[in-house]
Structure 1
Amino acid sequence: MPPGHGHDASRGTGRLWSVDEHLDDILTTVRPLEPIVLQLLDAQGCVLVEDITVPVSLPPFDNSSMDGYAVRVADVAGASEEFPAVLTVIGDVAAGQGEQPTVGAGEAARIMTGAPLPPGAEAVVPVEWTDGGLGEGTAAGMRAHSTAPEGASGEVRVYRPAEARAHVRAQGSDVRAGDRALAAGTILGPPQIALLAAIGRGTVKVRPRPRVVVLSTGSELIQPGEELAPGQIYDSNSFALTAAARDAGAIAYRVGAVTDDVEILRSTIEDQLIRADLVVTTGGVSVGAYDVVKEALDSIGDPDDEEGLGAGGGVEFRKLAMQPGKPQGFGAIGPDHTPLLALPGNPVSSYVSFEIFVRPVVRALMGLTDLHRTTVRARLTADEPLTSPSGRRQFLRGRYDADAGTVTPVGGAGSHLVAALAQADALIVVPEATTSVEPGTEVGVVLLG
């Protein structure tokens, strides 16, 4: 259903939409991406769509947590510096070794960290508790002796007793076979990738990271590194929004600035649809003679689709009761009904709009249920009251102090103040019905970190 269709007449494009209405309208049209099977490293940052059950316990066998000697408890009971236990070394046990010697009464086996506990042994004494065998008391010396022929004998003096299972990692002490290792909905980071590899999973079924295409519009925009001419500014929005999309979990492609030409903009967007799960534009959405985004998007659609989001372009432009970010557009374009969000061109407006509207879409495409930034309450610290227009939800940049439970405004309310945005780590939210906020008042705060 095209955005805005199916609602009553009061919800037409000519009225002022609330932030919540607009966001709800967007999210009702977004569906999670279809799951795919990926190799482990390719699945980093993706979301699991199935529970992962442990096929084999970790560790899969009892093993030593130290370089030392595998012994029987009774043989080292009462051992001390003055009266060490003297044991016969019957061989070595290395990590990855298949067969191990059996430790009997009065015997010990040299053992490396991670090596299986040999039959008969009940504990491991670290090499530092011994003379190291043949008179050397360091792990390096013990490793040197471990190159002796299998079955070579010698003696080791043990200077401290050991309790049963001392320095032994028990089979299944990490996870047991049949346990749930990871739950569906988990985002796969490095620790989760490590666990999957440790239990032998080479591939995993996930929802892929959304591919987000970001482009700016405006003939006045040039690329950073080039020389400014009169009337030109550097394109910062496409960089900011591409970085924000990646921070949200997407694979983001920055197209850069597109001139104010309907045909060029339309063809650029159409060319990008092949690699886009979401398109984000910035600029050209307010009422003006040169706002070409509306005209270009009106002609991108699926003319054969009379009901889907792509029909007739499928992009609706609205005015929202918010500051900054009043002009917004959203819908879907192309034969695959690719979602598109059209954001304002002012830097702060576009960034705030991304955080409030686009980030939740990226998270929804990933199949997550936690779509929004964390919101907390904090006490306002400021030299003077904050003012806000009546009927508008205002988002002001701020610095949040978690220890003090306070938030301090950064910069003014202007939607062009990029330097202030760079110093902010939170958005101070002033509700629609509030026109003034006194210092010391508790306010809502959206955390950006």
Structure 2
Amino acid sequence: MRPPFRRSVREHLEAIEDLLAPVLRDAGSEPSELVQALGRTLAHDLLAPRALPPWDNSQMDGYAVHTGDLGSGALRVVAPIAAGQAAAALVRGTAAPIMTGAPMPEGANTVIPVEAANPDRFPTVAEVADGFTVVLPDSSPVGNYVRARGSDIAEGALVLEAGTRLGPTALGIVAGLGLAEVQVQSRPRVLLLSTGDELVAPGGELGPGQIHDANTTLLHAALTGAGCQVAVAGVLDDSPEQFTTSLRAALMAGDRNYHLVLSSGGISKGAFDVVKAVLSTHGIDFGSVAMQPGGPQGSGTLALPGCSPVAFIALPGNPVSAYVSFEMFIRPVLAMALGLPERVLATATLTEDLDSVPGKLQVRRGSYAHGTVAPVGGASSHLLAALAASNAFILLDEETTTLPAGSRADIMIIGDGS
């Protein structure tokens, strides 16, 4: 058993990066239908399988003509070209009514808007049959109001780079290229568990000294929002023997091949801190990080007899500590690997005085708006209501013990926690 570590926030983040980054790089890829790919990460560079647009087409409603026929008087009007139709070649000396998006006929090289024609309308079918003519401007640039083939994307061009997070516009261009599915990074598979005989699942009846388990729901939502596929082992028993048996059973259930096991609780200095008591002899290092809340931490590669080695991160049990730890140490690594938007770091004007513990990064909850941030709740790590009412973390560094109202404070904008 190695002695407990004592790390700075930066040192612990680097340790988590070293643990998780190789695992996430090897997570593989899978095909996804476009409607299911929103928010997923593109696994490989996407090259255009065809040009877009695939043929020259009209940018507006007008007349398709050859520039050499302009200025020669009235032109006979031929059958119109609608979007979705093949276009017959244009006979010189004629003009073809063409609708927006319709393919340009061979022999035409410009489009004259209908409002620039005389008369400024399209003829009826009967009028075309009777020899309807139109007078157009004397000149027009070649290619005027023509969307050239490949003017959006050339065939074979790089459309999206690997690592792109697929939003509505990215998926729109994939669909426009005619692709029904896209290759995305596989979601990291995470086994989530909590510990503590005092915990009862939401909806259950509380016994003496018991509370409802908030961490499983909190961390499940955070992991899912960060692009993970989460399986829940539930609340494991505080008995070392039962904890070990339950953990082994969860790891071996089905063919999950987890990339990460994430626990909360049981890692401090209490007499019943089962995660630390059991796993410190199975490859997991425990210690403290200079951060409040979220000081107790554990991480490493779990080597439980009978199970495949797997990355394991142990978070403290208080809900605020667990969530702050996720945001500070786990989400940044997932963001880097999966192309998630990184949390925005900014400064804001503090609305009231704040005190901090020397030698630790103090992470306080706050409400940020219009360049100011108001602390929400106190420093205690059990204040779930304050966490739910926050959209930012106020970060007081290790050297700061007092920050008066009106000061500029460093903040991390977490929005709604997604």
TM-score above 0.5, yes or no: yes
Shift of the alpha carbon at 1:393? 1.1
Match 1:231 to one of 209, 223, 227: 209
Which residue matches 2:272?
A: 290
Which residue matches 1:140?
A: none
Deviation by residue 1:350-402 (Cα, 9 ceiling, x = unmatched) = 11010011213323554x5x8952322233221xx21111111110011223x
SS in 2 for 1:399: strand
Which residue matches 2:356?
A: 388
How many Å separate the matches in 1 of 2:135 and 2:267?
Answer: 80
Which residue matches 2:132?
A: 155
* Count of residues paired in the alignment: 399
SS in 1 for 2:272: coil
How many Å separate the matches in 1 of 2:246 and 2:299?
Answer: 18
Mapped pair 1:345 → 2:317: yes
SS in 2 for 1:313: coil
How many Å separate the matches in 1 of 2:201 and 2:138?
Answer: 71
SS in 1 for 2:288: strand
SS in 1 for 2:363: strand
Mapped pair 1:325 → 2:307: no
Shift of the alpha carbon at 1:187? 2.2
Which residue matches 1:218?
A: 196
Match 1:38 to one of 31, 45, 50: 31
TM-score with structure 1 length normalisation? Answer: 0.77
Over 3 Å counting, the alpha-carbon distance change for 1:17 and 1:159 in structure 2 is same
Q: How does 1:248-263 map to 2 (within 5 A)?
A: 248-263=226-241
How many Å separate the matches in 2 of 1:196 and 1:108?
Answer: 35
SS in 1 for 2:269: coil
Mapped pair 1:56 → 2:56: no
Match 2:259 to one of 264, 270, 277: 277
How many Å separate the matches in 2 of 1:214 and 1:203?
Answer: 30
Match 1:361 to one of 333, 340, 345: 333
Over 3 Å counting, the alpha-carbon distance change for 1:365 and 1:338 in structure 2 is farther
The percent identity for this pair of structures is 43
How many Å separate the matches in 2 of 1:229 and 1:153?
Answer: 92
Q: How does 1:164-175 map to 2 (within 5 A)?
A: 164=141, 165-175=143-153
Over 3 Å counting, the alpha-carbon distance change for 1:37 and 1:228 in structure 2 is closer
CA RMSD of aligned residues (A): 3.2
Over 3 Å counting, the alpha-carbon distance change for 1:363 and 1:33 in structure 2 is farther
Over 3 Å counting, the alpha-carbon distance change for 1:125 and 1:441 in structure 2 is same
How many Å separate the matches in 2 of 1:177 and 1:124?
Answer: 25
Mapped pair 1:425 → 2:396: no
Mapped pair 1:122 → 2:109: yes
State the one-letter code of the partner of 2:402. Answer: S
SS in 1 for 2:173: helix
How many Å separate the matches in 1 of 2:54 and 2:191?
Answer: 45
How many Å separate the matches in 2 of 1:119 and 1:15?
Answer: 75
State the one-letter code of the partner of 2:290. Answer: A
State the one-letter code of the partner of 2:132. Answer: E
How many Å separate the matches in 1 of 2:88 and 2:246?
Answer: 67
Which residue matches 2:17?
A: 27
Which residue matches 1:190?
A: 168
2:87–2:103 CA contact under 8 A, matched in 1: no
Which residue matches 1:91?
A: 79
Match 1:313 to one of 282, 285, 293: 282
How many Å separate the matches in 2 of 1:121 and 1:56?
Answer: 23
Over 3 Å counting, the alpha-carbon distance change for 1:333 and 1:75 in structure 2 is same
How many Å separate the matches in 2 of 1:415 and 1:359?
Answer: 19
TM-score with structure 2 length normalisation? Answer: 0.83
Over 3 Å counting, the alpha-carbon distance change for 1:68 and 1:99 in structure 2 is closer
Over 3 Å counting, the alpha-carbon distance change for 1:72 and 1:415 in structure 2 is same
How many Å separate the matches in 2 of 1:435 and 1:220?
Answer: 35
Unaligned runs of 5+ in 1: 6-11, 79-84, 135-144, 299-311
Shift of the alpha carbon at 1:34? 4.0
